[in-house]
Protein backbone atom coordinates (compact mmCIF):
# COMPACT_ATOMS: atom_id res chain seq x y z
CA UNK A 1 0.00 0.00 0.00
CA UNK A 2 2.81 2.42 0.82
CA UNK A 3 4.53 1.69 -2.48
CA UNK A 4 1.45 2.50 -4.55
CA UNK A 5 0.97 5.75 -2.65
CA UNK A 6 4.63 6.66 -3.23
CA UNK A 7 4.22 5.81 -6.91
CA UNK A 8 1.21 8.13 -7.15
CA UNK A 9 3.11 10.95 -5.47
CA UNK A 10 6.13 10.36 -7.72
CA UNK A 11 3.89 10.41 -10.79
CA UNK A 12 2.30 13.67 -9.66
CA UNK A 13 5.70 15.23 -9.05
CA UNK A 14 6.97 13.98 -12.41
CA UNK A 15 3.95 15.45 -14.16
CA UNK A 16 4.50 18.82 -12.49
CA UNK A 17 8.17 18.79 -13.46
CA UNK A 18 7.22 17.93 -17.04
CA UNK A 19 4.73 20.82 -17.21
CA UNK A 20 7.32 23.23 -15.81
CA UNK A 21 9.88 22.00 -18.32
CA UNK A 22 7.49 22.50 -21.24
CA UNK A 23 6.65 25.99 -20.00
CA UNK A 24 10.34 26.84 -19.71
CA UNK A 25 10.96 25.68 -23.29
CA UNK A 26 8.06 27.81 -24.54
CA UNK A 27 9.44 30.87 -22.76
CA UNK A 28 12.93 30.23 -24.16
CA UNK A 29 11.55 29.89 -27.70
CA UNK A 30 9.49 33.06 -27.31
CA UNK A 31 12.58 34.90 -26.09
CA UNK A 32 14.54 33.75 -29.12
CA UNK A 33 11.80 34.87 -31.48
CA UNK A 34 11.53 38.24 -29.75
CA UNK A 35 15.30 38.73 -30.05
CA UNK A 36 15.17 37.91 -33.76
CA UNK A 37 12.26 40.29 -34.34
CA UNK A 38 14.04 43.03 -32.42
CA UNK A 39 17.15 42.54 -34.56
CA UNK A 40 15.04 42.77 -37.72
CA UNK A 41 13.36 45.95 -36.48
CA UNK A 42 16.76 47.47 -35.67
CA UNK A 43 17.97 46.73 -39.20
CA UNK A 44 14.85 48.29 -40.69
CA UNK A 45 15.25 51.34 -38.46
CA UNK A 46 18.86 51.76 -39.57
CA UNK A 47 17.76 51.59 -43.20
CA UNK A 48 15.10 54.24 -42.64
CA UNK A 49 17.63 56.41 -40.84
CA UNK A 50 20.00 56.28 -43.82
CA UNK A 51 17.13 57.04 -46.19
CA UNK A 52 16.13 60.06 -44.08
CA UNK A 53 19.72 61.35 -44.12
CA UNK A 54 19.85 61.08 -47.91
CA UNK A 55 16.52 62.84 -48.27
CA UNK A 56 17.58 65.61 -45.89
CA UNK A 57 20.79 66.10 -47.84
CA UNK A 58 18.87 66.34 -51.14
CA UNK A 59 16.41 68.78 -49.62
CA UNK A 60 19.18 71.04 -48.32
CA UNK A 61 20.79 70.98 -51.74
CA UNK A 62 17.50 71.86 -53.43
CA UNK A 63 16.84 74.75 -51.05
CA UNK A 64 20.36 76.18 -51.38
**50 within some domain:** yes
What is the structure's pLDDT at 17? Answer: 94
**5 within some domain:** no
**13 within some domain:** no
The whole-number average pLDDT for the span 44-56 is 96
**3 within some domain:** no
CA 26 to chain CA centroid, nearest Å: 10
Average pLDDT score over the chain: 92
Domain housing 50: 22-64
**14 within some domain:** no
The total number of structural domains that make up the chain = 1
Helices (H), 1-64: 2-63
Has residue 59 got a pLDDT over 90?
yes
Amino acid sequence: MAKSRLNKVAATIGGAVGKADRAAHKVANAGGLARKELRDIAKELESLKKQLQKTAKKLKKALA
